[in-house]
Amino acid sequence: MSKLVEGLYYSKSHEWVKLLGDDVALIGITDFAQSELGDVVFVDLPEAGDTISQEEEFGAVESVKAASDLIAPVSGEILEVNEELVGEPELLNKNPYDNWLLKVKLENNDELGSLLSSDQYADFIK
Amino acid sequence: MFKYFPHTKADIDAMLKSLNISSIDELFKDVPESVIFNSDYDVPSYMSESELRTHFAELSKKNQELTLFSGLGLYDHYQPAVIDALTSREEFMTSYTPYQPEISQGTLQYIFEYQSMIQTLTGLEVSNASMYDGATATAEACFMACAVTRRNKVLLSSTLNPNTINVIKTYLKYKELDWDFIVEKDGVVDIEDLKNKLNKDIAGVIVQKPNIYGIVENYEGFSELIKANKSLFVVNADISTLGVLKSPKEEGADIACGDCQSLGMPVAFGGPTLGYLATQKEYVRKMPGRICGYTHDLEGKRAFVLTLQAREQHIRRSKANSNICSNQSLMALFATIYLSTMGKNGLKQVNNLSYQGAHYLYEKLVATGKFFDPFQKPFLKEFTLKTSIAKETLQTALLENGIFGGVGLDIFGERYEGLINFSVTEKRTKAEIDNLVKIVEGLS
Amino acid sequence: MINYNKMIFELSNPGRIGYSLPRERFPEYNIGQIETQYLRKDELLLPEVSELDVLRHFTNISNKNFGVENGFYPLGSCTMKYNPKINEEMAGLKAFRNLHPLQPASTTQGALEVYYNLQQYLSEISGLHEFSLNPYAGAHGELVGLMVIKAYHEDRGDFKRKKIIIPDSAHGTNPASTTVCGMEAVEIVSNERGRVDLESLKAVLSDEIAGMMLTNPNTLGIFENDICEITKLVHEAGGLMYYDGANLNALLGKVRPGDMGFDVMHINLHKTFSTPHGGGGPGSGPVGVTEELAKYLPNPKIKKHEDYYYVENSKDALGQISSYFGNYLVALRAYTYIRTLGKENLRLVGPYATLNANYISNALKTAYELPIAGYCMHEVVFNGLINKETEVKTLDIAKRLLDFGMHAPTIYFPLLFPQSIMIEPTETESKETIDDFINVMHKIAIEAKEQPEILKQAPTTTPIRRTDEVFAAKMMIFSYKDYLEYINNRG
């Protein structure tokens, strides 16, 4: 059973978004994504200061058998990148919801409306 | 009956019976009648083994093995007898790509040892499991530079081997990437021109040493300039010469590539040879080709396995950095055995003996008064001269004496008009060299 | 023997040598005369071992390998047929292997004759007008074939055609080669019979389509019986048809790709024409084209005038993709193979290969799920066990086969089925060998139900057991130097 967390926004490409403040959010990958990938060995992320655009590729997560593109669920400027994942990419398997990938300043909060709720995402991955 | 088809009539009958059909043709019933090929191929009738041997003996007579005194990328170095003995072992020769590591530790281990040897010769952190040849390896290095820097243009030294240049141009043209040349000055790549041409579009700078003229180029200042421009520095080198020459790492290179034919492989009418590609670990995910890594099995035993496969075509498909699948694995075994046999001292000695022979020939040729050196630069085992002897005369005289040498570089284009190539390896004896000099002394 | 565990570097003893080189002939010269700024300072981490050390080391590690001569090698799409030793003998002839490609043609007529004639034989077998033997491997041939297609369109002034249609069942090199050639892969789905869906194909045809890449039989081992309709549709839309020759073995003696409407193709000499796989190369991927496209084939080209063979570089060529004539000695082996078989036996390759595969298909379909009914060609694809209640996956089945002294088939390809097992016996396997394989596969199916732990733990009799691939990817130990650092840090 794939683990889900209430209160997060989900994308169809298996990323989640957690709103922190007015227009700051964390982005990560879901439990479904990490279990499909298997043991993560590498995470390829952009740098703080870069921008991401909704529905565009911004990096990749690599396991032994697959390399999945990361698709931005929202647009914005990257404030912080989770450096821990460089040395310990397996953290994504351990807890994909605590171990976020990026902290971004949202360009347009309305974009959240196009994402799924946890129920909707649960249906989607059935 | 035929020796490679084990089925007897009884076998076939039994198999057809199990399938409930009366002839093999029924298995092809899905194939449209219009495309079924109903006749024999218009190729010769079969030959028995002894007839084949006779056939090849006749073909052999139409070839002439010459004493090789020119190189231009392929060199007549000594091949230790152990190489053929070991590479012809079926377990190495007929096995498949090592995707099942449990029964491929032989292949995987020699690839790891090969990677280790390329690593130490180039000084860079990681080598892949091999590329097709030096020219395609260099083309792929250009792709790598573009992928890493996200820029679309490379600068190519004018002193690269023209075959390498042509292959790079073809590869870049179809991938819609761009290039420009750094001019040469007195036979070496010109740093002033490099300074002029570096800009934010440049992904990488590719040089070769020893270069097409056999000259060992000096890259002082190159690495700093290139780094400041946030481009990658790519050095193409005959791997054997790295036994004595400054390594790509010491030159400040980011990628090293080239050909390994000098490591115990025959000139083979051009192939198969072996390309190598090495880089720093920070770029490894943009490096094409297979990579072997060290690990252990579930009982803790030492083991080798293909790794980082998520970069490769069978997983990334259209997003892969390269399409390379088969490489030149068995030739990597040639190189590994050669380097194991030669070791660090043997490799140095090979280069030293080649250096000695080349410089002896050079001095003798210049002393005849009919040859002169337009460049006057340091060289190792190969050099370029101009001559007052008519081209036809020189070629005919050498050929009549069974020598392949003094090859005109103009086979690569008009811009090389008048330049001729000589190369000497540890195999060329004093008698052979003196003989060549004697022949040309009498010409005009 | 199989417990031999050393790396060549670990046999090193400073001062020991394994080579013999001539004495110095001209001691007045010395490499030390080059200015030090040109010379290397960094030490070389190369071994210092004796000749016997070298022999023992590589002989011992070879014992941990599995070649075609060890046993059954049913890798789908790889065509692991017998690699004849007479081919090796001919490829070892000094009169060929010691030739420099820049030698005047008058001194290499024998070598050029072999190359030229092989081109001709491949034309005959494929039904395409002209070949280049220069590509070094199948994937390289694909790239060159796509370059021909692009060159053709651009020469006609049509720069819009940048898309290549590829079925979702295709080998990964197809879309990868497309990208390397600066074009875009357009994927279409297969229908429920595992073949190209004509409606999906029609939906993507446009004036942006440069061509389509197809393997036939496809990667499921099934003949695309709509092939004439497919080539017609693509041609009508202005595109060219590319044939991926990986599965050509099924067609030898029965069908020629040119007759099916293909314009460009590559052949894998290391598959169909018996040249050895070498543990991953060197292979050879000759490219064949129609008469109209012949001018685009890469330089250098080998031509013949009356009885004389010569080398030509033409301006119309798409460019150069190899330094010289490709993997020449590999081509020479293929030439030898074709002369050995002759027209009489070449026409039996496809039929026997197909008979073998169908025999296996029929015998195993009671235990393994055959996703597409009907005859297969030279290879058969199963989607794991029929019994879906076990925890046993295709990976476990493959690993267990190793315990029985057989190489595993291709697994997890094509991607269309989650538990793909692709079996290609080739025509050089006897009924006895195939019956043994069938018996083992049935045994494994039973083990899956009754003792699945055996499969999960397999293999147990091979030189090593299953490997830790996560460790390999994370630790990135790619060289002996890395290994020494790892040992040092580990303490």
C-alpha to C-alpha distance for C288 and C144, rounded to whole angstroms: 10
Strands B382-387 and B291-296: unpaired
Q: Name C243's bridge partners.
A: C214, C265
Radius of gyration, CA atoms only, chain B: 25
Choose the weakest-confidence range: B34-48, B232-246, B310-324. B310-324
- For residue C456 the two structure tokens come to 């999960």
Q: Give the helix/strand (H/E) hosting B108.
A: helix B105-122
Which residues on A lie below 8 Å from C469 (Cβ)?
64
What lies within 8 Å, CB to CB, of B128 at 6+ separation is B115, B276, B277, B278, B287, B288, B289, B290, B291
- Does residue B141 contact residue B289 with C-beta atoms inside 8 Å? no
C41–B52 C-beta distance less than 8 A: no
DSSP string, B139-165: HHHHHHHHHHHT--EEEEETTS-HHHH
Does the beta-carbon distance from C469 to A64 stay under 8 Å? yes
pLDDT digit string (tens) for C435-470?
A: 999 999 999 999 999 999 999 999 999 999 999 999
ipTM above 0.95, yes or no: yes
Between the alpha carbon of residue B280 and those of residues A56, B63, B136, C36, the distances in Å are 29, 44, 19, 25
Q: Which residue of A has its CA nearest to C471?
A: A41
Dmax (CA) of chain C: 79
Q: Which of residues 9-38 of B touch C (CB under 8 A)?
A: 11-12, 14-16, 18-19, 24-25, 27-32, 34-37
CA atoms within 13 A on the CB side of B32: 15
d(CA A30, CA A11): 9
pLDDT (0 to 100) of residue A5: 84
Q: What angle do CA A32, A34, A38 make, to 5 degrees?
A: 120
Distance from the first to the final alpha carbon of chain B: 63
Nearest to B80 among C19, C109, C359 (CB): C19
Contact call for residues C247 and C410 (beta carbons, < 8 A): no
Chain C residues whose C-beta sits inside 8 Å of any chain A C-beta: 469-470, 473-474
Q: What is the per-residue DSSP string for B341-370?
A: HHHHHHHHHHHHHHHHHHHHHHHHHHHTTS
pLDDT reported for residue C63: 95
d(CA C247, CA C167): 15
Range of the domain at A72: 9-108
Q: How far apart are CA C340 and CA C82, in angstroms?
A: 13
**Which of B335, B275, B354 is closest to B75 using CA atoms?**
B354
Q: Is residue A15 part of a domain?
A: yes
Give me the sheet containing C184-188, strands edge to edge: C130-132, C287-289, C264-266, C240-244, C209-214, C163-167, C184-188
**Beta-bridge partner residues of B420:** B385, B408
Which amino acid makes up residue B301?
K
Q: How far apart are CA C467 and CA C289, in angstroms?
A: 44
> Dihedrals φ, ψ of C384, to 5°?
70, -165
Fold entry, domain B67-76+343-441: Aspartate Aminotransferase, domain 1 (3.90.1150)
Give A-chain residues touching B316 at CB under 8 angstroms: 67
Domains identified in chain A, total number:
1
CA distances from B216 to B123, B358, C224, C421 (A): 18, 14, 56, 53
- Tokens standing for C421? 């097992």
- The pLDDT, as a whole number, for residue C1 is 62
CB of B87 closer than 8 Å to CB of C269 = no
Conformational region of residue C221, where left means phi above 0, alpha means psi within -120 to 50, and beta covers everything else: left
Minimal CA–CA distance to A103: which of A5, A4, A11, A17? Answer: A17
Cα(C297)–Cα(A85) distance, integer angstroms:
48
A-C CB pairs within 8 A amount to: 12
* Local structure of C458: helix, strand or coil: coil
User: Is the backbone peptide bond immediately before C459 cis, with ω within 30 degrees of 0?
Assistant: yes
Per-domain residue ranges for chain B? 67-76+343-441, 82-337
Confidence of residue B317 (pLDDT cuts 50, 70, 90): confident
> Is the CB of B268 less than 8 angstroms away from the CB of C480?
no
Cβ-based neighbours of C33, under 8 Å, separated by 6 or more: none
Pick B351's closest partner by Cβ from C31, C346, C476.
Answer: C31
Measured CA to CA, the distance from residue B135 to residue B276 in angstroms comes to 10
Chains touching B (at least 3 CB pairs under 8 A) are A, C
Residue pointed to by tokens 């004389």: C308
Are the Cβ atoms of C223 and B353 closer than 8 angstroms? no
Output the pLDDT for position B346: 97
Q: Which residues of C touch B314 (CB under 8 A)?
A: 171-173, 413
Provide the token pair at B159: 């002193």
In chain C, the N- to C-terminal Cα span, in Å, equals 29
Q: Are C145 and C266 in contact (CB under 8 A)?
A: yes
Average pLDDT of the residues of chain B: 96
| Span B197-208, pLDDT tens digits | 999 999 999 999
C65/B318 Cβ within 8 A? no
Tell me what the mean pLDDT of segment B56-84 comes to.
97
Cα B81-C69-C378 angle, rounded to 5 deg? 130
CB contact under 8 A, C94 and B65: yes
Run of H or E residues at A118: helix A118-124
pLDDT value, residue B313: 65
Inspect the interface and report whether the beta carbons of A64 and C474 lie closer than 8 Å.
no
- CATH class entry, domain C86-341: alpha beta
Most C CBs within 10 A among A34, A41, A42, hence the mutation to make, goes to A41
Strands (E), B122-227: 126-127, 153-157, 178-182, 184-185, 188-189, 202-208
Interface residue C487 vs chain B (CB under 8 A): no
Chain A residue at shortest CA distance from C474:
A41
Amino acid identity of residue B24, one-letter, is I
User: What gap in Å lies between CA C418 and CA C398, rounded to an integer?
Assistant: 15
> Domain residues of chain C, as ranges?
8-62, 86-341
Contact C470 A42 (CB under 8 A): no
Q: Specify whether domain B82-337 bears CATH 3.40.640.10.
A: yes
Q: Which of B283, B315, B318 to mutate to test the interface with A (most CBs of A within 10 A)?
A: B315
Looking at chain B, the whole-number percentage of residues with pLDDT higher than 90 is 93
Positions of chain C with pLDDT lower than 50, given as ranges: none
Cβ-proximal residues to B307 (8 Å cutoff; 6+ apart), any chain: A64, B291, B292, B293, B295, C469, C472, C473, C476
Q: Which residues of C touch B298 (CB under 8 A)?
A: 465-468
Cα B61 to Cα C328: distance, rounded to the nearest angstrom: 18
Please tell me the distance in Å from A40's CA to the nearest CA on chain C: 8
Buried b (16+ CB within 10 A) or exposed e, B417-431: eebbbbbbbbbbeee
State the smallest CA–CA distance between residue B370 and chain C in angstroms: 22
Residues of C in contact with B322 (CB under 8 A): 176, 180
Task: Provide the CATH number for the domain around residue A74.
Answer: 2.40.50.100
Q: Do the domains B82-337 and B67-76+343-441 match in fold?
A: no
Do residue B127 and residue C478 have CB atoms under 8 angstroms apart?
yes
Q: Is the predicted pLDDT of residue A1 greater than 70, yes or no?
A: no
What is the model's pLDDT at position C341?
Answer: 98
| Amino acid symbol at C424 | E
Q: How many residues does chain B have?
A: 444
Of B63, B169, B303, the CB nearest to C95: B63
Residues in C touching A88 (Cβ below 8 Å) = none
Q: Helix, strand or coil for residue C368?
A: strand
DSSP-derived secondary structure letter, A121: H
Q: How wide is the angle at C-alpha B427 spanned by C-alphas B424 and B428, nearest 5°?
A: 55
B317 interfacial to chain A (CB closer than 8 Å)? no
Touching B: C residues 117-136, CB under 8 Å: 120-121, 124-125, 127, 136
Q: Euclidean distance between the first and final Cα of chain A, in Å?
A: 10
B412 pLDDT higher than 90: yes
The answer to whether A121 touches A31, Cβ cutoff 8 Å, is no
How far apart are alpha carbons B409 and B154 in whole angstroms? 25
Shortest CA gap B260–chain C (Å): 13
Closest-approach residue (CA) in chain A for C475: A41
Tell me the β-bridge partners of A62.
A42, A67
Residues of A with CB below 8 A from C474's CB? 41, 89-90
Segment 39-68 of chain A within 8 Å of chain B by CB: 42, 44, 62-67
Residues of chain A contacting C, Cβ within 8 Å: 39, 41-42, 62, 64, 89-90
Residue A126 has pLDDT above 90, yes or no: no
Q: How far apart are the C-alpha atoms of C197 and C212, rounded to whole Å?
A: 13
Residue C82, chain B, CB below 8 Å: the answer is yes
Which residues in chain C are contacts of B292 at CB distance < 8 A? 478
Q: Does B310 touch chain A (CB under 8 A)?
A: yes
- The H or E element containing residue C332 is helix C328-364
Which of the residues A37, A50, A64, A71 would you substitute to probe the B interface, choosing the one with the greatest number of B C-beta atoms within 10 Å? A64
Q: How many Å apart are CA C196 and CA C260, to the nearest integer?
A: 15
Tell if the CB–CB gap between B341 and C94 is shorter than 8 Å.
Answer: no
Cis, peptide link before residue C104, omega less than 30° from 0:
no
pLDDT at B49: 97
Least Cα separation, residue B105 to chain A (angstroms): 19
* Residue B237 near residue B113 (C-beta atoms within 8 A): no
Q: How far is C177 from chain A (nearest CA, A)?
A: 18
Give B266's contacts in chain C (Cβ within 8 Å).
97-98
Task: Assess contact for C168 and C415: CB atoms under 8 A.
Answer: yes
Q: Which of B55, B11, B7, B1 is nearest to C341 (CA)?
A: B1
Which residues numbered 13-42 in A keep a CB inside 8 Å of some CB on B? 42
